[in-house]
Amino acid sequence: MHKLIENQVRISVRNLVEFILRSGDIDNRHSTKAQYDAMQIGSRLHRKIQGSMPGTYKAEVSLKHTAHYRDVEILLEGRADGIITPDEKSVREEQANLLYQAKTDENVSAEISFIIDEIKVIRQDMEKLDSAAQVHIAQALCYAYMYARALNTKAAGVTEENEEKKRLCIGIQITYCHPETEEIKRFLKVYTFKEIKEEFDHYISEYGKWAQFLYEHRLERNASVQKLSFPYPYRAGQKRLVAAAYRTMINGEQLFIQAPTGIGKTLSTVFPAVWAVGEEYADKIFYLTAKTITRTAAVSAFDILRENGLKMSYIALTSKEKICPNTVMECNPVQCPYAKGHFDRVNEAAFDLIHDCEQITREKLAACAKKYKVCPFELSLDVSYWVDAIICDYNYVFDPHVRLQRYFADGERGEYIFLVDEAHNLVERAREMYSAKLEKEEFLAAKKYYEPFKSVVKQINSCNRKLLELKRECDVWKVLSEGEGIGSFVMALERLYEALNRLSETHPEWTAPKEASEFFFHVRDFLEVYERLDEHYEVYMEHTSQGTFQINLLCVNPAERLQECCAQGISTIFFSATLLPIRYYKELLGQGEESKAIYAASPFDPKNRLIVTAADVSSKYTRRTALEYTRIGQYIKAITNSRRGNYLVFFPSYTFRDEVEACMEKEENVRYIRQESSMTEAQREEFLDAFREQDTPTVGFCVMGGIFSEGIDLQNEAVIGVIIVGTGLPQTGSRQEILKSHYEKEGKNGFLFAYLYPGMNKVLQAAGRLIRTSKDYGVIALLDERFLQGSYRSQFPPDWTDMNIVQLSNCTALLEQFWADIEQ
């Protein structure tokens, strides 16, 4: 929205008036057309209306003006849709009538110098439109003031000394146009220059207090950064990471950082980013995470630097579902008191909050939202404008349907640094963001939601018939070649989409049920993805195990879409403990071989940990018998009995865990706890607290790739052993086989890309739960004979060269020796 350079804040006229004059309710009950379509239609109609105007009409007039407020300059920029020099011989009759009516106003006694024309494309019944919106008038008033001051002021009679004598008058015209009917309705009013100046000064005064805050905070922040040092002695290799990250940021580049657990990746990226912002190479930091639990490390890093003198503000964004104060999330003024009148109060709430604190947490947001009775989620988005760092989920930057439009709409670029934590997760997350699917059963269900509207039901039936034809061509699953396509289905879907959009206009009183809204967005998302299909996608149809029939648009390689997002900032750092093999992640996240990368060795003494690989068990499907489950259970018992303490055991699935647990003898004096498929935040914390208490030896049964296999930080003997059962390979199915085939068509090893690389990533992440500090020690046990194969061992980190091969018969002796050496 704004850009501050030295003491000058740069902002567009539209952003200024929309910010200052916000009012009304939050109301998401009525769906609208996709933003891109609206933009395209609006641009076309603007040009058509401008082209139909007389020769005295100047279109798209660029304007700039610098206003002053206390210590800051406010540079306003904008583009007036049209400026008309009145000439009644050349204007159309309609225009002449409007002009005559405006001039007969009793307050207008002088000739009109010029008219500002502001064009707005709106989906509203023109017959019911009886006045122009205040925010649109305000935008035109600002243009009028800026244009008047840009003229030769003496010749135009605009000097403030003689303004009262000259009584300069300016017309403000708002032109509304409907995107479908192209019906036009205009509102024109004449103002004196004095009236316009008073309004303009009021807007500057209202916005000026925000600009002054921004300026004062930046002075304080930058001064604190100059005094800031790295808060701890550098660990081995850490200073090199910090330096590489800083160079990348100030040079506007990208970097992949593969650094083992415990080296301090979070602080090693946040610290140089803080310096880059403090030296004004960048304006804002986006710290992006995959899971809520990993956000804690980022918050901790900023708090540590603040404790060391940093004056930098940050906000940790929480999803709407989690921060909503209501039992049922309904974002409309009828069902939510926080939505009713939200925009009347939110600016005051945000101004209060940014002055009250620099660490804007979920709790502080909730308290402020309750005080001012505004939506806490929308408040958090507004506050994010005025802070230096935003800690949030990947979605807010990369997902086209969730990303923060106030920063990234229309491909707008900002001086942002993107820090992508646990970047290995972004591959699958991005595939989900840029893929789409539709189920035939959705269309059958949608008919009952739209039953009163025959035009919509007709189009739903048309889509359903096309899906039925495709369904008959598919046995289990089928990849569609370019020639086979789904073009006829998509054409029917587009007609349905148009009918759904018309429904929101023709029946604005109808409140769509939740299921109908979800169906609308599924249709929209599918069409948007279809428009982007290229060689990085596979289109396939499938009969699912749940008995449904799907059409899938699968984004195999999301790098191009991700890079479009990264290009909206100045620098991106991808970092993780498991970015191996680095070429895989460069190809799927970055700029291919052009991407720079740095590897850091583990800072911890390898003597503090023992790595063992079992040569006599496997998690292969062909080996999944009671005998194999019993043998794995015996390994777990041998390892956990070798020394009293806490252990984490990671299984390939919940089912496999249950089978092993059923065949395993458990110790009486050991606490066994389990990760469940759906755990609340409180249950997760309770699970982790069992390891922190250390009153009773605890064995936690978890699942690879789950919430406890990454992002948790259990130190100081909280965990002394990690046992990994299986290689983590994804389950064989249509999706993975399609990925495999896609890579093979590109001349790559499909098994590696579709199975081995993502599987081994889960293994290494789970192993990273051990040895978090230089004082930690413990055992990493890999229970699958496949880890002895070259293709798997080649994925091990370079410091895993001391792996020990064991069998059940000699495992205990090796463990006892290791623990004895630790005691010495």
Instruction: In whole angstroms, give the CA distance from residue 231 to residue 307.
Output: 9
Angle, helices 13-20 vs 134-150, to 10°: value is 140
634 domain-assigned: yes
Tell me the per-residue pLDDT of 395-424, one tens digit each, with 9 for 90 and over: 999 999 889 988 998 778 899 999 999 999
Strongest mean pLDDT among 59-63, 102-106, 388-392: 388-392
pTM above 0.75, yes or no: yes
| Beta-carbon-side half-sphere exposure of residue 311 (alpha carbons within 13 Å) | 14
* Distances in whole angstroms, Cα of residue 321 to Cα of each of 287, 519, 520, 712: 21, 19, 20, 23
Instruction: Give the model's pLDDT for residue 155.
Output: 42
Rounded mean pLDDT of 671-690? 92
Mean pLDDT of all residues in the chain? 89
**Residue 628 or residue 506, greater confidence:** 628
- Residue with structure tokens 């500002």? 116
Using the predicted structure, report yes or no on whether residue 163 has a pLDDT greater than 60: no
- Assess whether pLDDT exceeds 90 at residue 610: yes
Residue 116 CA to residue 128 CA, distance in Å, equals: 24
> Does position 40 have pLDDT exceeding 70, yes or no?
no
Which tokens belong to 18? 């929309």
Reduce the DSSP state of residue 679 to 3 states and report it.
Answer: coil
Interhelix angle 559-566/426-433, rounded to 10 degrees, is: 90
Per-residue pLDDT tens for 228-253? 999 999 988 899 999 999 999 999 99
What are the C-alpha distances in Å from 12 to residues 3, 72, 351? 10, 16, 20
Stretch among 37-41, 540-544, 723-727 having the lowest mean pLDDT: 37-41
The pLDDT of residue 377: 95
What CATH number should be reported for the domain holding residue 40? 3.90.320
Cβ neighbors of 307 (< 8 A, separation 6 or more) are 231
Per-residue confidence at 50, pLDDT binned at 50, 70, 90?
confident
What's the pLDDT at 41?
Answer: 58
The count of residues in the chain is: 824
- Among the three residues 524, 555, 586, which one is the final residue of a domain in this structure? 555
Q: What is the spatial distance between Cα 761 and Cα 741, in angstroms, rounded to a whole number?
A: 21
Give residue-wise pLDDT tens across range 254-283.
999 999 877 889 999 999 999 999 999 999
The least confident of 162-166, 733-737, 787-791 is 162-166
Tokens at residue 51, please? 């082209």
In Å, the largest CA–CA distance within the chain is: 105
Query: 628 falls in which pLDDT band (50, 70, 90)?
Result: very high
Domain membership flag for residue 132: yes
Asked if residue 650 lies in contact with residue 723, where contact means CB atoms within 8 angstroms, the answer is: yes
> Do the strands 8-12 and 72-84 form a parallel or antiparallel pair, or are they unpaired?
parallel
Is residue 383, in this structure, part of any structural domain at all? yes
Per-residue pLDDT of 734-759, as tens digits, reads 999 999 999 999 999 999 999 999 99
Nearest to 217 by CA among 299, 283, 298: 283
Query: Is 80 exceeded by the pLDDT of residue 187?
Result: yes
pLDDT of residue 99: 52
Secondary structure element (H or E) that encloses residue 173, with its range: strand 169-177
d(CA 424, CA 289): 11
pLDDT (average), residues 510-521: 87
**In which band, very low, low, confident or very high, does the pLDDT at 43 lie, cut at 50, 70 and 90?**
confident
Which of 603, 623, 639 finishes a domain?
A: 603
* Domain annotation covers residue 422: yes
In-domain check, residue 221:
no
The confidence score (pLDDT) of residue 30 equals: 53
Same domain? 584 vs 626: no
Q: Are 37 and 442 in contact (CB under 8 A)?
A: no
User: What is the pLDDT, as a whole number, of residue 94?
Assistant: 46
Please report the beta strands in 394-517, taking only residues with DSSP state E, as ranges in sequence order: 416-420, 436-439, 477-479
* Full DSSP string of 718-734: S--EEEEES--PPPPSH
Question: Beta-carbon neighbour count of residue 298 at 10 Å?
Answer: 24
Q: Among candidates 658, 698, 703, 651, which has minimal Cα distance to 679?
A: 703
Could you report the per-residue pLDDT of 541-581, keeping only the tens digit for each? 999 999 999 999 999 999 999 999 999 999 999 999 999 89
Question: 412 and 362: one domain?
Answer: no
Same domain assignment for residues 521 and 548:
yes
Quick: pLDDT tens for 446-462. Answer: 999 999 999 999 999 99
Identify whether 319 is part of a domain.
no
Q: Which domain holds residue 716?
A: 606-823
Q: Are 619 and 795 in contact (CB under 8 A)?
A: no
Residue with tokens 């003597």: 607
> What is the distance between the alpha carbons of residues 703 and 655, in angstroms, rounded to a whole number?
10
Kindly report, residue by residue over 299-308, the tens digit of the pLDDT.
999 999 999 9
Return the pLDDT at 517: 87
Give strand pairing partners of 61.
80
Rounded CA separation 283/4 (Å): 8
Of residues 619 and 94, more confidently modeled = 619
- Supply the DSSP string of 479-497, one letter for each residue: EPPTTT--HHHHHHHHHHH
- State the pLDDT confidence band at 370, using cuts at 50, 70 and 90: very high
Whether the CB-CB separation of 395 and 514 falls below 8 Å is answered with no
C-alpha distance from residue 208 to each of 20, 200, 669, 685 (Å)? 10, 12, 67, 45
Between 351 and 712, the higher pLDDT residue: 351
At residue 435's C-alpha, the angle toward residues 256 and 572, to 5°, is: 20
**Total structural domains in the chain?**
5
Q: Is the pLDDT of residue 83 over 50?
A: yes
pLDDT digits (tens, 9 = 90+) for 99-158: 545 444 444 445 678 899 999 988 777 888 899 999 999 999 999 999 998 885 544 444
Q: Are residues 111 and 235 located together in one domain of the fold? A: no
For range 431-439, the mean pLDDT: 97
pLDDT at 164: 46
**Residues 726, 654 contacting (CB under 8 angstroms):** no
Q: Are residues 669 and 595 in the same domain?
A: no
Q: Which CA distances in Å does 564 have to 248, 302, 405?
A: 18, 28, 15
Bridge partners (DSSP) of residue 255 are 573, 596
Tokens of 294: 């990993």
Q: Are residues 693 and 749 in the same domain?
A: yes
Specify whether the CB–CB gap between 757 and 791 falls below 8 A.
no
Distances (CA, A) of 532 to 91, 268, 426: 44, 37, 20
Domain stops at, among 518, 539, 555: 555
Same domain? For 512 and 583 the reply is no
pLDDT band at 1 (very low <50, low <70, confident <90, very high): low
pLDDT of residue 572: 98
Same domain, 151 and 163: yes
- CATH number at 565 reads 3.40.50.300
Q: Where are the alpha helices (DSSP H) in 87-167?
A: 93-103, 134-150, 153-156, 163-166
- pLDDT value for 502: 85
Residue from 104, 74, 91 nearest 209 by CA: 74
Question: Residue 266 to residues 248, 635, 685: CA-CA distances in angstroms?
Answer: 16, 35, 21
- Residues above pLDDT 90, as percent of the chain: 71
Measured distance CA(563)–CA(434) in Å, rounded: 13
Pair 299, 313: CB distance under 8 Å = no
Given a cut of 80, is residue 342 above it in pLDDT? Answer: yes
Residues 68 and 178 in one domain: yes
- Judged against a pLDDT cut of 90, whether residue 472 lies above it is answered with yes
Q: Is residue 194 part of a domain?
A: yes
- The answer to whether residue 34 scores a pLDDT higher than 80 is no
> ∠497-503-506 over CA atoms, to 5°?
145
- Cα–Cα distance between 23 and 780 in angstroms, integer? 58
pLDDT for 29 equals 64
Q: What integer is the mean pLDDT of 594-616?
A: 92
Phi and psi angles of residue 219, each rounded to the nearest 5 degrees, phi first: -60, -45
Residues 254 and 277 in one domain: yes
What's the half-sphere exposure (Cβ side, CA atoms, 13 Å) at 108?
Answer: 18
Report if residue 219 sits inside a domain: no
**Residue 198 confidence (pLDDT):** 95
Is residue 344 located within the same domain as residue 237?
no
The CA distance from 549 to 568, in Å, is 38
- Do both 512 and 647 map to the same domain? no
53 pLDDT tier (thresholds 50, 70, 90): confident
